[in-house]
């Protein structure tokens, strides 16, 4: 017999014995403590074997009892909690942010029109110190002052600007440009 089939067959046998003992407990109206004790033991065995059988499987998504660290977490400091950035080019054309829990050495962004998602700007993100070499890196994105007023999407990627793929962005913000 194969190893993989042992526990399921054992569970079927234990379930059959559990049903028989449950019937005996029902017939004796619970007055025979020996059968109640045996029923509890077999029930505990069934639960243990089910835990072993299901505990070794890897299911997607993986469920844990703690918050998993977000990899390549890109936060733009000018954004509110809902991912909206209001940028007045007459006052400032720089977006500041940070990337934490890095797992790559190159990051990029692109700005798209909100209506037809046409790419307006696509550039690499450069860290303040020149290298993505620590777990938390600060960066600046300089927005061209010639960009038209309106609403755009700004998307960040954990790759070079030449490798950006539609809908594979890490984060997306709504960017409102005012002159």
Cα separation of 8 and 73, whole Å?
Answer: 43
Whether the full predicted model's pTM is greater than 0.75, yes or no, is: no
86 and 160 share one domain: yes
Q: What is the CATH number of the domain that holds 115?
A: 2.60.40.10
Reduced to 3 states, what is the DSSP secondary structure of residue 125?
strand
Reduced to 3 states, what is the DSSP secondary structure of residue 98?
strand
Kindly report, residue by residue over 14-58, the tens digit of the pLDDT: 999 999 999 999 999 888 889 999 999 999 999 888 887 766 555
Residue 177: Cβ-neighbour burial (10 angstroms; 0-12, 13-18, 19+): buried
Give the pLDDT score at 15: 92
Q: Is residue 68 part of a domain?
A: no
38 and 105 share one domain: no
Kindly report, residue by residue over 72-124, the tens digit of the pLDDT: 777 887 666 667 888 888 888 888 888 887 778 888 899 898 887 888 888 98
How many domains is the chain built from?
2
Domain that holds residue 42: 3-55
Q: Is residue 149 part of a domain?
A: yes
């Amino acid at each position: 017999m194969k190893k993989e089939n042992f526990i399921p067959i054992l569970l079927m046998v234990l379930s059959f014995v559990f049903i028989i003992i449950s019937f005996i407990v029902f017939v004796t109206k619970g007055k025979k403590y020996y059968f109640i004790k045996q029923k509890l033991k077999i029930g505990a065995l069934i639960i243990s074997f089910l835990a072993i059988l299901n505990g070794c499987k890897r299911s997607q998504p993986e469920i844990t009892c703690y918050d998993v660290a977000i990899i390549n977490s890109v936060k733009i400091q000018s954004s509110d909690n809902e991912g909206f950035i209001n940028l007045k080019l007459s006052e400032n054309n720089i977006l500041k942010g940070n990337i934490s829990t890095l797992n790559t050495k190159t990051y990029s962004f692109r700005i798209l029109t909100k209506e037809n998602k046409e790419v307006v700007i696509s550039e690499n993100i450069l860290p303040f110190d020149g290298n993505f070499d620590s777990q938390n890196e600060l960066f600046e994105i300089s927005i061209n002052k010639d960009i038209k007023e309106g609403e755009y999407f700004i998307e960040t990627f954990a790759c070079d600007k030449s490798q950006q793929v539609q809908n594979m962005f890490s984060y997306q913000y709504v960017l409102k440009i005012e002159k």
